[in-house]
């Protein structure tokens, strides 16, 4: 048995990956020598959240449901949880902004709940929603913390889903643009950093292919447990409409607001890195296919005005076309590209069709090592190797004309009880963050135009993959306490000392 195993191709391939990693070992910075002041002028450090995940107050002050409320209330989460109360930031925002100030955050990334601001998705603005976001923004600005605001963080008003299937319809473009217009008009005097969409490249896969996220659409055999949908076409149609909605909002911002408000606007995608299991031509081609479907799906239209040729060849007529006007509007419709990076995944060529619980998207890519499970749990703890970030940034630099980049999410998942002594003494998270921030510095020194870095997340919240079973926060939140008391983790103290701008401040570690 042992002999057979030693000769098995997968074992040999495992050695390949190891060898590939070793070659780059010299790129590592020796730990503990980095400080805040090593980063370029204007670089910003912050932490993030999103509306449904942190606000709570789901049925208060005129807020109507989003597709996430529908999903969680149908008992679709693995822990049957909802974001009804979540971290209750709606009622604790003053206390939270004070905590951000004490931590030394330079920026806070949060999202506006479209259905809190415009409860029906279009039409009347909810004055209490408007008031809440004005208060939050004012509080941040008073403390000198930059608000970086996402317009749609995977949550769209339920009414638009009911009315016309949300982002599957071209009507979505007009409604999103009108919503964005309201936000620019009401908040743009103080908000200088806008993100149109967060992770549309995974929203369409979970929502319209696997069906394991809202709006819970899929078709057999690619997804199960959906009452409606079409996994083979909808992810591509949805992504297309989201791209056009993004371009439309950016055009509006540039024409009517940017000159006066002097802000910046971009879009944020999930950007994992992929390593071929073997150094073979087939596996290297699989890696490129993966990168084209995962990043190129959005970055190619934004930079070059069309989808990658790989996607055109494989997806064929299921992939929508851009008109000449669409392409023109899309090209350069960003001042920065946001990247959410957590880890890298191994990929291996596989001439498969699909398996019973697989995804149509996975079939299109045909790489092994990527399962519906790994797609769904992309943010879970993978072997930590922060050089994945260096490779990602170098790839984006070379392939996409060195765009301005902001790392909008990076963080380490913790499991189980989130408030006990062990969960608060999160030394692994400290090591993870330090290592990724060091990698980031090396990439900047190597020519990548990175403008900011945000830890996911500022505090524990309702996690979209598994509710309250995992946590990423610099601060723990006691979800069993009616007041949702916050507790600083070791990582909050570490980040705070790093941000204190003293030379070698990052040396102060948990040990
Ligand atoms: C489908 O739903 C049932 C009942 O909610 C659940 O037990 C099952 O695990 C689901 N199947 C998949 C593949 O998600
Ligand atoms: C999905 O759409 C395609 C193209 O319109 C069609 O051929 C296919 O039958 C549809 N599948 C389902 C499950 O409706
Ligand atoms: C393309 O854009 C131009 C200028 O914005 C506009 O006049 C024209 O009607 C558009 N064409 C189509 C087919 O949408
Ligand atoms: C720096 O860029 C060069 C040239 O693109 C590349 O070979 C090298 O691997 C990069 N190093 C890092 C740390 O990204
Ligand atoms: C935190 O954990 C580390 C080991 O991971 C240990 O050395 C240290 O003493 C712990 N600190 C506290 C305050 O418990």
- Residue 260 Cα to ligand 3 midpoint, Å, equals 26
CB 233 within 8 A of CB 218: no
Residues whose CB falls within 8 Å of the CB of residue 310, separated by 6 or more in sequence, listed in order = 288, 289, 292, 293, 296
Residue for token pair 């946590």: 471
Q: Measuring from atom 1 of ligand 5, which residue has the nearest CA? A: 425
Task: Please work out whether the CB of residue 357 comes within 6 Å of at least one atom of ligand 1.
Answer: yes
Q: Which residues have C-beta atoms less than 6 Å from ligand 5?
A: 425, 427, 510-511
The radius of gyration computed from the CA coordinates of the chain, to the nearest angstrom, equals: 22
DSSP lists the bridge partners of residue 266 as 195, 336
- Residue 203 Cα to ligand 2 midpoint, Å, equals 20
- Residue 209 Cα to ligand 2 midpoint, Å, equals 12
The three-class DSSP label of residue 225 is coil
Q: What is the pLDDT of residue 482?
A: 96
The whole-angstrom separation of Cα 218 and Cα 235 is 9
Helix (H), strand (E) counts: the chain: 22, 15
The whole-angstrom separation of Cα 427 and Cα 424 is 9
Q: What is the pLDDT along the chain (511 residues), one digit of tens a residue?
A: 222 222 233 334 444 443 333 333 334 444 556 899 999 999 999 999 999 999 999 999 999 999 999 999 999 999 999 999 999 999 999 999 999 999 999 999 999 999 999 999 999 999 999 999 999 999 999 999 999 999 999 999 999 999 999 999 999 999 999 999 999 999 999 999 999 999 999 999 999 998 999 999 999 888 778 999 999 999 999 999 999 999 999 999 999 999 999 999 999 999 999 999 889 999 999 999 999 999 999 999 999 999 999 999 999 999 999 999 999 999 999 999 999 999 988 888 887 655 555 678 888 888 876 665 555 555 544 556 889 999 999 999 999 999 999 999 999 999 989 999 999 999 999 999 999 999 999 999 999 999 999 999 999 999 999 999 999 999 999 999 999 999 999 999 999 999 996 444 443 343 3
409 catalytic per annotation: yes
CA 212 to chain centre: 17
Q: What is the pLDDT of residue 368?
A: 74
Options 3.40.50.720, 3.40.190.10, 3.40.50.620, 3.20.20.80; CATH for 39-499 is 3.20.20.80
Could you tell me the two tokens for 214? Answer: 């809202």
Q: Measuring from atom 12 of ligand 5, which residue has the nearest CA? A: 425
Task: Please work out whether the CB of residue 400 comes within 6 Å of at least one atom of ligand 1.
Answer: no
Q: Which of 77, 224, 371, 373, when mutated, tests ligand 1's pocket best, judged by the most ligand atoms within 8 Å of its CB?
A: 224
Q: Which residues have C-beta atoms less than 6 Å from ligand 2?
A: 219, 230, 232-233
The number of beta carbons lying within 10 Å of the beta carbon of residue 1 is 5
Among the bound ligands, the one closest to the CA of 235: 2
Could you tell me the two tokens for 52? Answer: 């449904």
The whole-angstrom separation of Cα 472 and Cα 233 is 34
CA atoms within 13 A on the CB side of 232: 9
394 catalytic per annotation: no
Among the bound ligands, the one closest to the CA of 228: 2
Minimal CA–CA distance to 99: which of 47, 43, 36?
47
Q: Which of 325, 326, 331, when mutated, tests ligand 3's pocket best, judged by the most ligand atoms within 8 Å of its CB?
A: 325
Q: What is the pLDDT of residue 402?
A: 98
Q: What is the pLDDT of residue 419?
A: 95
Domain boundaries of the chain, sorted by first residue: 39-499
């Amino acid at each position: 048995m042992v002999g057979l195993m030693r000769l098995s191709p997968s074992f040999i391939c495992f050695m390949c990956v190891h060898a590939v990693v070793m070659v780059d070992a010299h790129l590592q910075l020796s730990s503990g020598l980095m400080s805040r002041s090593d980063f370029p002028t204007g670089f910003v450090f912050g932490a993030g959240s999103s509306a449904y995940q942190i606000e709570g107050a789901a049925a208060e002050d005129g807020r109507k449901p989003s597709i996430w409320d529908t999903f969680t209330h149908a008992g679709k989460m693995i822990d049957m949880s909802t974001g009804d109360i979540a971290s209750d930031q709606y009622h604790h925002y003053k206390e939270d902004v004070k905590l951000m100030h004490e931590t030394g955050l330079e920026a806070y990334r949060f999202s506006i709940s479209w259905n809190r601001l415009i409860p029906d998705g279009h039409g009347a603005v909810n004055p209490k929603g408007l008031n809440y976001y004005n208060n939050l923004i004012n509080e941040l600005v008073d403390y000198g913390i930059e608000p970086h605001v996402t317009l749609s963080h995977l949550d769209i008003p339920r009414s638009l889903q009911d009315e016309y299937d949300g982002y599957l319809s071209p009507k979505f473009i007009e409604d999103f643009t009108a919503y964005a217009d309201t936000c620019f008009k009401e908040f743009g005097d103080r908000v200088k950093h806008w993100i149109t969409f967060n992770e549309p490249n995974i929203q369409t896969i979970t929502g319209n292919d696997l069906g394991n996220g809202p709006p819970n659409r899929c078709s057999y055999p690619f997804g199960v447990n959906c009452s409606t949908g079409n996994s083979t076409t909808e992810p591509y149609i949805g992504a297309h409409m989201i791209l056009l909605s993004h371009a439309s909002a950016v055009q509006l911002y540039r024409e009517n607001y940017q000159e006066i408000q002097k802000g910046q606007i971009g879009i944020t995608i999930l950007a994992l890195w992929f390593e071929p299991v073997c150094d073979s031509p087939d596996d290297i081609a699989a890696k490129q296919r993966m990168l084209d479907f995962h990043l190129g799906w959005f970055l190619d239209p934004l930079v070059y005005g069309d989808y990658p040729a790989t996607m055109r060849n494989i997806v064929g007529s299921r992939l929508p076309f851009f008109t000449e006007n669409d392409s023109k509007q899309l090209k350069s419709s960003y001042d920065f590209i946001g990247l959410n990076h957590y880890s890298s995944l191994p990929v291996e060529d596989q001439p498969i069709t699909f398996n019973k619980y697989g995804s149509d998207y996975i079939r299109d890519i045909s790489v092994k090592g990527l399962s519906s499970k790994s797609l769904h749990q992309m943010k879970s703890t993978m072997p930590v190797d922060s050089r994945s970030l260096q490779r990602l940034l170098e790839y984006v630099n070379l392939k996409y004309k060195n765009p301005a980049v902001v790392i909008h999410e990076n963080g380490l998942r913790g499991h189980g009880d989130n408030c006990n002594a062990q969960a608060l003494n999160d030394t692994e998270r400290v090591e993870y963050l330090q290592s990724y921030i060091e990698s980031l510095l090396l990439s900047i020194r190597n020519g990548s135009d990175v403008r900011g870095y945000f830890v996911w997340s500022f505090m524990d919240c309702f996690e979209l993959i598994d509710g309250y079973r995992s946590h990423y926060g610099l601060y723990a939140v006691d979800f069993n306490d009616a007041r949702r008391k916050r507790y600083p983790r070791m990582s909050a103290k570490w980040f705070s000392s790093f941000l204190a701008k003293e030379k070698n401040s990052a040396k102060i570690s948990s040990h």
